[in-house]
């Protein structure tokens, strides 16, 4: 186990920031200096079982599953709402829950999508029919309603949500974690047994020094907006603009992606003389880091529909790699349904740590299909189940009997792959 250690430069930067923050200059005649230690004091400590970092597509599902399984669970989300790319990114078009005429992913993600579509008076595709194009079975979802419903489900599952916060240091202490988090006006210490990293780019895995994979050239992101016509949430497609080089792995590159996307949209508004009717708050990012897991899903595993012996969820989508010139989805051969093994969610040689979402351990081409939302939700639910059981039995997710994880998933409505 490699504990996360700050390097000296980072430590010095923090000390300087801490000192500055500790000095309060009042508007008139007096100056109050607080000791640095006082300003750096923790405001609140949470002693919990499972910490989910990132409340996006995979993260809120993971947390709801862990909460429903009886684990004391918290989500740390740096943004202002749940859903991540599905809601804040505006990709409210989740897929694919079905393959070759039947449903293959269900559980908590499906429950949320279904309830939000029903509440919104929307429509579902007919899963019994194999569509001509894969996207015809994706589901128009109202991003606003979805985010609110996700909060309600978290509350019902007893999951605490901490918005505008992210981990600053993560330390292994005996058999548990100490995660020191910052938000504006808040310093929080979380003591937990298990961490689920659902940050999209495996941020916590990176902080802890476990290996992550990243390509020199990554898929473009897209900024979602609507120009010239209304965006009716849950009903119509939204306009998309490629943002090449978009990278959400740090605040500087995320800022750059947002500035570039919005500047280009402004130019379009001026050029085409149309009204800007809708603009998402941030760029949707397709690719940053993937983990190096206990196993790696290759594109052959993916396209062959390999049923892993430790499969915990299905996945289904064409191989879908966006490049500078666009995308040409490569559909899977008839009858093939890929699966996701538990070991692809576990950073190699780690303990008490699991991931879910687009950072799943996979080669780049396999990842281009695995990264879609229904698959991320399936991974989220599996990670939530594994972490909750590990916390309950005082072990690590890889040591929980696979049958127990699969049974818990089935109990909570998920479809678990079986060897034929």
Ligand X SMILES: Cc1cc2nc3c(=O)[nH]c(=O)nc-3n(C[C@H](O)[C@H](O)[C@H](O)COP(=O)(O)OP(=O)(O)OC[C@H]3O[C@@H](n4cnc5c(N)ncnc54)[C@H](O)[C@@H]3O)c2cc1C
Nearer to ligand X, 84 or 397 (CB): 84
Nearer to ligand X, 69 or 205 (CB): 205
Residue 29: exposure state from Cβ atoms within 10 A (0-12, 13-18, ≥19): exposed
Question: In the complex, what is the shortest distance from the CB of residue 34 to ligand X, in angstroms, rounded to a whole number?
Answer: 27
Helix (H) or strand (E) holding 341: strand 339-341
Which range of residues in 35-43, 55-63, 98-106, 108-116 is near ligand X by CB under 6 A?
A: 55-63
Q: Do residues 230 and 216 lie in contact, with contact meaning Cβ atoms separated by under 8 Å?
A: no
Q: What 8-state DSSP symbol labels residue 244?
A: T
| 286 contributes a contact to ligand X by CB under 6 A | yes
The only residue of 77, 98, 247, 294 in contact with ligand X, by rule CB under 6 A: 77
Which range of residues in 33-41, 47-55, 117-125, 411-419 is near ligand X by CB under 6 A?
A: 47-55
| 109 contributes a contact to ligand X by CB under 6 A | no
Which range of residues in 52-60, 122-130, 262-270, 326-334 is near ligand X by CB under 6 A?
A: 52-60
Nearer to ligand X, 53 or 346 (CB): 53
Residue 261: exposure state from Cβ atoms within 10 A (0-12, 13-18, ≥19): buried
The Cβ of residue 299 has, within 10 Å, a number of other Cβ atoms equal to 18
| 258 contributes a contact to ligand X by CB under 6 A | no
- For residue 91, the Cα-to-chain-centroid distance in whole angstroms is 13
Q: How far apart are CA 191 and CA 273, in angstroms?
A: 54
Nearer to ligand X, 67 or 94 (CB): 94
The only residue of 107, 357, 397, 417 in contact with ligand X, by rule CB under 6 A: 357
The only residue of 52, 58, 71, 265 in contact with ligand X, by rule CB under 6 A: 58
Q: Do residues 47 and 160 lie in contact, with contact meaning Cβ atoms separated by under 8 Å?
A: no
Nearer to ligand X, 70 or 329 (CB): 329
| 86 contributes a contact to ligand X by CB under 6 A | yes
Question: In the complex, what is the shortest distance from the CB of residue 72 to ligand X, in angstroms, rounded to a whole number?
Answer: 19
User: For the stretch 271-294, what's the b/e string if a residue is b when 16 or more beta carbons lie within 10 angstroms of its beta carbon?
Assistant: eeeeeeebbbebbbbbbbbbbbbb
Q: Do residues 372 and 99 lie in contact, with contact meaning Cβ atoms separated by under 8 Å?
A: no
Q: Do residues 183 and 197 lie in contact, with contact meaning Cβ atoms separated by under 8 Å?
A: no
The only residue of 116, 143, 194, 199 in contact with ligand X, by rule CB under 6 A: 199
| 366 contributes a contact to ligand X by CB under 6 A | no
Question: In the complex, what is the shortest distance from the CB of residue 8 to ligand X, in angstroms, rounded to a whole number?
Answer: 22
Instruction: Name the E strands within 81-211.
Output: 98-99, 102-103, 160-163, 165-173, 176-183, 186-192, 194-197
Q: What token pair was written down for 133?
A: 């194009």
x-or-dash string of contact with ligand X, 121-140, rule CB under 6 A: -----------------x--
Looking at beta carbons, which residue is closest to ligand X? Answer: 56
Angle at 217 between CA 213 and CA 219, to 5 degrees: 90
| 303 contributes a contact to ligand X by CB under 6 A | no
Nearer to ligand X, 245 or 401 (CB): 245
For ligand X, the binding residues (CB under 6 A) are: 53-59, 76-79, 84-86, 89, 91, 93-95, 138, 166, 198-200, 203, 221-222, 284-286, 357-358, 371-373, 376
């Amino acid at each position: 186990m490699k504990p996360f250690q700050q390097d000296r430069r980072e430590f010095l930067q923090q000390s300087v920031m801490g000192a500055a923050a500790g000095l309060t200059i009042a508007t008139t005649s007096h100056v109050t200096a607080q000791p640095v230690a006082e300003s750096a004091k923790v405001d609140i400590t949470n002693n919990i079982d499972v910490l989910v970092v990132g409340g996006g597509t995979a993260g809120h599902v993971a947390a709801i599953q862990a909460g429903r399984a009886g684990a004391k669970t918290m989500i740390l989300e740096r943004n202002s709402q749940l859903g991540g790319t599905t809601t804040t990114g505006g990709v409210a078009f989740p897929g694919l829950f079905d393959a070759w005429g039947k449903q293959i992913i269900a559980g908590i993600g499906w429950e949320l999508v279904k309830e939000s579509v029903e509440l919104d008076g929307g429509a579902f595709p007919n899963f019994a029919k194999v569509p001509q194009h894969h996207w015809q079975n994706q589901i128009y979802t109202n991003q606003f309603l979805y985010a609110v419903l996700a909060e309600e489900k978290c509350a019902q599952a007893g999951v605490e949500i901490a918005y505008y916060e992210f981990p600053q240091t993560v330390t292994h202490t005996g058999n548990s974690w100490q995660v020191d988090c910052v938000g504006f006006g808040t310093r929080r210490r979380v003591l937990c047994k298990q961490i689920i990293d659902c940050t999209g780019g495996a941020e916590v895995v990176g902080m802890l020094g476990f290996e992550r994979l990243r390509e020199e050239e990554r898929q473009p992101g897209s900024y979602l907006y609507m120009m010239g016509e209304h965006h009716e949430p849950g009903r119509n497609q939204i306009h998309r603009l490629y943002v090449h080089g978009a990278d959400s792995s740090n605040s500087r590159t995320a800022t750059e992606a947002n500035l570039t996307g919005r500047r280009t949209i402004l130019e379009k508004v001026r050029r085409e003389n149309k009204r800007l009717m809708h603009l998402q708050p941030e760029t949707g990012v397709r690719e940053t880091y993937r983990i190096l897991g206990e196993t790696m899903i290759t594109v052959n595993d993916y396209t062959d529909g390999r049923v892993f012996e430790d499969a915990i969820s299905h996945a289904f989508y064409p191989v879908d790699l966006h490049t500078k010139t666009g995308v040409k989805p490569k559909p899977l051969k008839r009858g093939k349904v890929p699966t996701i093994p538990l070991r692809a969610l576990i950073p190699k040689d780690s303990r008490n740590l699991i991931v879910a979402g687009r950072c799943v351990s996979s080669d780049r081409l396999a990842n281009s299909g695995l990264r879609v939302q229904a698959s991320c939700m399936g991974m989220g639910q599996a990670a939530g189940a594994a972490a909750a059981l590990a916390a309950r039995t005082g072990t690590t997710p890889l040591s929980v009997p696979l049958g127990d994880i699969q049974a818990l998933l089935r109990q909570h409505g998920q479809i678990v792959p079986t060897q034929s």
